[in-house]
Chain A
Amino acid sequence: MISYIARRLAFGVLTIIGVSIVVFVIMRVLPGDPLVALFGPDGFTKLTDEQRAQYMADLGLSDPLWKQYLAWVADIARGEFGRSFFRAESVAEMISRRAPLTAQIAFLSVVFSWLVGIPVALVSALKPNSAWDNVTRFFSILFLAIPGFWFGILIVLALLFWFGYRAPLTGAPFFSDPLLNLQIVIGPAIVLGLGQAAYIARMARSSLLEVIREDYVRTARAKGLSSRLVIALHALPNALLPVITLSGILLGFVLAGSIPVERAFGAPGLGDAMFIAVKERDVFVMQNLVFLYACVFVLLNIVVDVVIAWLDPRIRYQ
């Protein structure tokens, strides 16, 4: 087990190095002048050539590319993540202020997706092709197609029209003001959770249907175990393995999905910061945030692999 984890981690480090190069190439090497981003197309044409050279040198953009790359890696190693073009706050400060909210949203949405998805799948799988099964399948297909951010705006509008309620626009850490914090977090979490619940219900249903046909389930029934215990002790734990994998992968996509959804709800999380960075064409912030998201994504995949290997010895010994 330990050697398995070590191998996965070593692989992960390699992947993250590769990812950092990809991010660097996208943000620095692809055409698109950072000065145009900084000053806008109009401001850019007004700059003289010397001014352009001066700004490029100040930003460290006139060094050779490998030097720029190493400088960036050193920045990350120091835990600074560079600075924004427009704000005094360093990217690291911004991340530590905003990331908890996004993490909370992501965590709650996963909990929510399991709370909705698994019971729905259980009822569906126990009575396949019943009316309930068809209704829930319809809804899971529907929620796969609904864009979360649109659903989010609709919820905000509906609450405002019918209840005159609008979630507060300023964030607060959970421990200083839990009520305020929850009001901000709950909307995005539900929207993102429903999107995941659709996948989870689908996967859990088909996986349960498969497991129920296995020999050991029949044996358990044959020895006289009640149907409820067979499902709870024999079928469900085995059926959940692929669901755990899926949930981990979805969690990575939720981090991306939270960008437009946070914007829709006006929740001041990391996704919102990403939106602002894109709007302001803030290349440095964007570069670091994209890298951070990718690292979390890679790490999540490793955690999922390790958890699955821990739960399922067949994978460990392959």
Chain B
Amino acid sequence: MTATHPGNIAPPTTFKPSRLRRMREGFFSFVRRSPMSAFWGLVAAAIVVMAVSAPVLAPYDPLKSNFRAMTKPPNEKNWFGTDQVGRDTLSRVIHGSRTSLMVAFAAVLFGTTLGALWGLACGFFGGRFDLISQRLIEFMQSFPDLILAMAIAMALGAGTWTVIVAIAITRIPFGGRVIRSVVLSLKEMQYVEAARGIGASNRRLMFRHILPQCVAPYLILATTHLGVAIVIEASLGFLGVGIPPPSPTWGNMLSDALNSGLVPPWWLVLFPGLAITLTVLAFNLLGDGIRDALDPRLRNAL
């Protein structure tokens, strides 16, 4: 795709600022224009760093139980307290971010991307293919996403990949719908018609002229979906069809807490939930910021 076409009249490359420099300038103008979103973007980045460096950051082994410190409220040794078998809650929350983010990123990467490509094909080719695809998407959207994810996760049996697949499938129709409508309006644009007029092939039109215009809506959609995916993952974990224990996720920590008796200790409930809320908040607000920066027209569309 980077190969220059003989028809392209490219300006002399020496005058063009490097790609890195343009990205840096874009970043700074984003920070200046919406400091709030930049701040939440920073929070999101911090959470991602926390997830990546979990083994270094966590003060204890999240799986190691300490029978001399069971169900202890927060104290100076265990800042977030310990659970029924004496595992450190702080370490488990930190390691939980790893699983949650990994699942959410993978689910969005597969689901939203697959949906977007499907939407691109639907919008571009139209006709019978589009008609059948739209019916299929409609069937998939006839389920509230949590219920669809639950059914798939249950049918496939517990496991990390199961959860990723289950969440990814619920993301497909949204990607399909949004990108399709973007492509439909792009297809009528004059520059596409012009490219077709000078004899560009279908493949070239699709990937060279239409796909790049879909990147902005795709990015906005993907950031919003990250938040949704995290909530679905937590709900699945809470309902016992997520990633099975002992590996900690925020959802199965809450489920463990509730199963520990009629009255769960408050610190086992508070901290994993706060982690979910903070992460979802950060990705939602970052998504809003990206949307406003890239394409304010989409404010009501997504």
* Interface of A toward B, CB cutoff 8 Å: 15-16, 18-19, 21-23, 26-27, 30-32, 36, 141-142, 144-147, 149-151, 153-154, 157, 160-161, 206, 252-253, 255-257, 259-260, 263-264, 274-275, 278-279, 281, 283, 286, 290, 293-294, 297-298
Selected from A144, A149, A157, the residue in CB contact (under 8 A) with B264 is: A157
Contact status B300-A206, CB under 8 Å? yes
In this complex, the member of B139, B241, B258 whose beta carbon has the largest number of chain A beta carbons within 10 angstroms is B139
Distance in Å from the Cβ of A232 to the closest Cβ of chain B?
A: 25
| A147 interface neighbour in B135, B152, B264, B276, Cβ under 8 Å | B276
- How far apart are B164's CB and chain A's nearest CB, in angstroms? 15
B212 vs chain A, min Cβ distance (A): 30
Q: Which residues of B contact A253 (CB under 8 A)?
A: 144-146
CB distance from B122 to the nearest CB of A (A): 17
Query: Is B155 an interface residue, CB under 8 A from the partner?
Result: yes
Query: Which residues on the A side are within 8 Å of B273 (C-beta)?
Result: 146-147, 150-151, 153-154
B147 touching A256, Cβ below 8 Å: yes
Enumerate 16 A-B pairs (CB-CB under 8 Å) in ascending A order: A18-B135, A26-B152, A30-B156, A31-B156, A144-B280, A145-B277, A147-B231, A149-B238, A153-B269, A157-B263, A259-B235, A278-B241, A290-B143, A290-B147, A294-B142, A297-B142
A-B contact count (CB 8 A): 137
B residues with a Cβ closer than 8 A to A are 135, 138-140, 142-148, 150-152, 154-157, 227, 231, 234-235, 238-241, 254, 257-258, 263-264, 266, 269-270, 272-273, 276-278, 280-281, 284-285, 300
A36 to B194, CA, bound (A): 60
* In the complex, chain A residues whose CB is within 8 Å of the CB of B138: 15, 18
What is the minimal beta-carbon distance from B149 to any residue of chain A, in angstroms?
9
Closest chain-B Cβ to A203's Cβ sits at a distance in Å of: 9
A282 to chain B, nearest CB (A): 9
* Residue among A27, A252, A274, A293 with the highest chain B CB neighbour number at 10 A: A293
User: Known: A145-B277, A147-B273, A154-B269. Contact between A15 and B239, CB under 8 A?
Assistant: no
Q: How far is the CA of A279 from the CA of B152 in the complex (A)?
A: 14
SS of A interface (majority):
helix
CB neighbours (8 Å) of B147 from chain A are 255-256, 259, 274, 290, 293-294
Q: Are A147 and B156 in contact (CB under 8 A)?
A: no
- Asked if B277 and A30 make an inter-chain contact with CB atoms under 8 angstroms apart, the answer reads no
| 4 residue pairs, one from A and one from B, having the closest CB atoms | A256-B144, A150-B273, A145-B281, A18-B139
A256 touches B277 (CB 8 A): no
A70 to B154, CA, bound (A): 23
A295 to B270, CA, bound (A): 36
How far is it, in angstroms, between the C-alpha of A27 and the C-alpha of B272 when the chains are bound?
31
Contact B143 A149 (CB under 8 A): no
Q: In the complex, how many angstroms separate the beta carbon of A38 from the nearest chain B beta carbon?
A: 13
- Which residues of B sit under 8 angstroms from A255, Cβ to Cβ? 144, 147
